[in-house]
Structure formats: structure tokens, C-alpha cells
Amino acid sequence: MKKLFILVLVIAVAFPVFSANFKTGKTAKIENMTGDLYSSSEDLEIVTLDGDLFGIARTATVLKELNGGITYAGEKLLITGTVARSVRFIGRVLEIDGEVKGDIFFMGQELRINKDAKIGGEVYAAGAEITINGEVTGPVHVGCDEFILRGVINSNANVKAKKIRILEGARIEGNLDYWTQKAITFPEGTIGGKAVFHIIGTKKKAKEKEKLEKKAKGKPEKKGKGFPFFPSWFKVAWFISSLLLGYIAFLLFPGQIKKFNEEIIARPLRAFLLGAASILIILLLIVIFFVLVFTIPMNMVIIPMFLIFLYFGKLLAGFAIGYIILKGIFKKEVTVWLTYPVGLVALVILSFIPYIGWLLMLIARLWGFGGFFYKVKV
């Protein structure tokens, strides 16, 4: 059974790598390729690709058809053909002359959606200059120095910019919420809904003004109501889900849970150091795999597994903390069914401690995570 599990794990990690295509070197031209492409070529040109593109390079051009999505970092990405899914780009320039059927996620210097371009989803963009001359079907969310609209947005737009230019012939079918230094008069007929103006920093300035006025009048500031450690609805949901998952894990693996629990209680410092060292090593491997590009598929397996084990590290900490508390009170062994909820309540209380709550939760996670290495000899 153990060998079968290892075999399944190896296949799960290796399969995405074996099914992918890799391109390195100064230049690369892709035509009629099937499968995902991972590229670090300096200049990449794609004619047709039936799969996703992942790349870190200088320039890339999609000439005809890419039947997938794009995740790319580089100096420039030019799309003159069709991209079937979303485009995620970090770099200097993203220029679109063709069609992107999904969303656009952009962070860089300049985004240009040219006259004949069409975006089927939403646009999320942050940069120096954002120009939309084509058509965007979904909402637009922009933060930049200068925003220029000559095309059409068939939904709402949220724009935060130092300079906003909406020219004649442009059109926003929905509402426009814009943040800038002063209100703007837009050409007639360009805004289909309402144009709502927000001064940059309005909320912060309003709160500061309110505090000064109350101080001048001698009125005390309003304090939050209720007991400070009373959990929010998010904490309630977190507690219930963690409780159920913990009990399910104990029902499925009672022996292992007890061994992990005994280990982190008997050797707390060793468990914490092992947990911290293991997480640092895993994070370093994830970064290396992203940098090497061709090993990116392995991260698609490693990252979810890492998050799952880190989550269960918190659950193990809950078992151990509850055991320590109840044994200290009753001076005898206590059933896991009682120790676990007590431990979770303790973790919730720790998370609400101002300034250091997050740090205590992190320490608890690392302590519990180290329990997975109870057989390691150090």
C-alpha cells in the first residue's frame, strides 16, 4: 500500500512535466503545437498553439491562434491573433490587436488595446499608461498615471488615475467610478450610466477631519462594541470547518494523529524547528522551479500539497494545545474528542491578540507542521 501511494505521487508530480513542451534559446517559432508550452526563449513567436503558454523572456508574439491562456513575464507581449482564455502579463508593454476571449490581468508600464482588438472578459490593469481603443465586454478596473479611452466598454468602469481622458466617440455603457484630483466633464453621450467622482484619499481625509472635530468638541471617540475576543462570522466558519476536518482526520488516521500529537508535545522545540526549516526549504524549491520554467508544472502539485499540510499543521497544534490545557486542569489523560475543540478555541483567542496574534498563529502552524517529521532522527 505504501509503495502504491509513492508510485501514485510520483506519477502525479511527473505527468504534467512529461506532457508539456519546452523551448529555450535565443529565438523560437511555434506552429501546430499541441500541449502546454513553457518557454524562456529571448524572442518567441507563436503561430498556432493548442494549450497554455507559460514564459519568462524578452518578447513574445501570438500571430494566429492560441487555444489556451497566457501567463507571461517579459519586456513585451504582442497579440495579433486569438487567445481562447485569459492573459496574465507582468512586464513593460502588453499590446493587443486581436481577440482575447477571457480576462486581462496586467501589471507593467503600458497596456494598449488597439482599435480592432476585442476583450471578451474583464480588464484588471495597473501601470503608467492604459489605453483602450478597442472593445471590452466586461468591467474595467484600472489604476494608472494616465487612462485614455477611445473605444467601448460594455459594462462598468472603475478608474483611479492622475489623468483621465475619455474622447468623443468613446463609450462606457455602464457606470463610471473615477478617482482623481478634480472632477472631469466628459463629452456628452460617452457615459451610459452615472459618472461618480471620488477625490483620491477621500475616506482617509474624512476620518481625520472627524477625529479633529470630535477632539475640538471634547467628545470621546466611539469604541467598538462587544467583547474584544468575540469571534467574527469568519472565525465562526473557520472554527466549525476546522473542527469537522479535525474529527474526520482523527477518524481516518487515529494512530497517526496520536503519534504526531505525542511528538510535538514531547519535543516542542524540535517540532517547531523542523516545521520552520521544512517550510523554508519548500518555499525555496517553489521559487527555483518557477525560475527554471520547465519545472513549473511540478509547482502545480507541490503548492496545493504544501498548503494542505500547512493547514493540517494548525489542526495538530489544536489537538496538542487542548491536551496540554485539559491535562493541566484535570491532572489526568483526557479524550481527544474534548481536547481538540478546547485547542481550537485557544487558537481563536490567540489570533485576536493585537499585533502578535498573527505571529502566534504562525508559530502554532510551524509547531504542528513539525509533527509530520516525528520519525526523523536529529
340-367 tens-digit pLDDT: 888 888 887 887 787 788 888 888 888 8
Looking at the fold, whether 62 and 184 belong to one and the same domain comes out as yes
Task: Answer whether residue 214 is part of any domain.
Answer: no
| pTM (2 d.p.) | 0.56
Cell of 252: 481516518
The answer to whether 149 and 130 have CB atoms below 8 angstroms apart is no
Residue 168 pLDDT greater than 60, yes or no: yes
The answer to whether 28 and 39 have CB atoms below 8 angstroms apart is yes
Task: Answer whether residue 221 is part of any domain.
Answer: no
Looking at the fold, whether 24 and 170 belong to one and the same domain comes out as yes
Q: What is the CA radius of gyration of the chain?
A: 27
Q: How far apart are CA 251 and CA 59, in angstroms?
A: 53
Looking at the fold, whether 309 and 369 belong to one and the same domain comes out as yes
Q: What percent of the chain has pLDDT over 70?
A: 81
Cell of 258: 496520536
Residue 300 pLDDT greater than 50, yes or no: yes
Looking at the fold, whether 365 and 247 belong to one and the same domain comes out as yes
Looking at the fold, whether 254 and 336 belong to one and the same domain comes out as yes
pLDDT reported for residue 313? 83
What are the angstrom distances between the C-alpha of 146 and each of 132, 137, 161?
11, 21, 6
Cell of 24: 529555450
Looking at the fold, whether 239 and 189 belong to one and the same domain comes out as no
Domain extent for 266: 233-373
User: Is pLDDT larger for residue 2 or for residue 52?
Assistant: 52
State the pLDDT confidence band at 338, using cuts at 50, 70 and 90. Answer: confident
Task: Answer whether residue 225 is part of any domain.
Answer: no
Looking at the fold, whether 166 and 74 belong to one and the same domain comes out as yes
Looking at the fold, whether 49 and 172 belong to one and the same domain comes out as yes
Cell of 360: 502566534
Task: Answer whether residue 219 is part of any domain.
Answer: no
Contacts of 118 (CB under 8 A, 6+ apart): 98, 99, 100, 134, 135, 136, 137
Task: Answer whether residue 350 is part of any domain.
Answer: yes
For the ranges 8-22, 38-52, 362-376, the lowest mean pLDDT is seen at 8-22
Residue 17 pLDDT greater than 60, yes or no: no
User: How many distinct structural domains can be found in the chain?
Assistant: 2
Burial of 280 (0-12, 13-18, 19+ CB in 10 A): exposed
Beta bridge partners of 105: 88, 124
Looking at the fold, whether 81 and 172 belong to one and the same domain comes out as yes
Instruction: Look at residues 153, 175, 200 and tell me which one is the last residue of a structural domain.
Output: 200
Looking at the fold, whether 127 and 238 belong to one and the same domain comes out as no
Looking at the fold, whether 252 and 298 belong to one and the same domain comes out as yes
State the pLDDT confidence band at 231, using cuts at 50, 70 and 90. Answer: very low
Residue 14 pLDDT greater than 60, yes or no: no
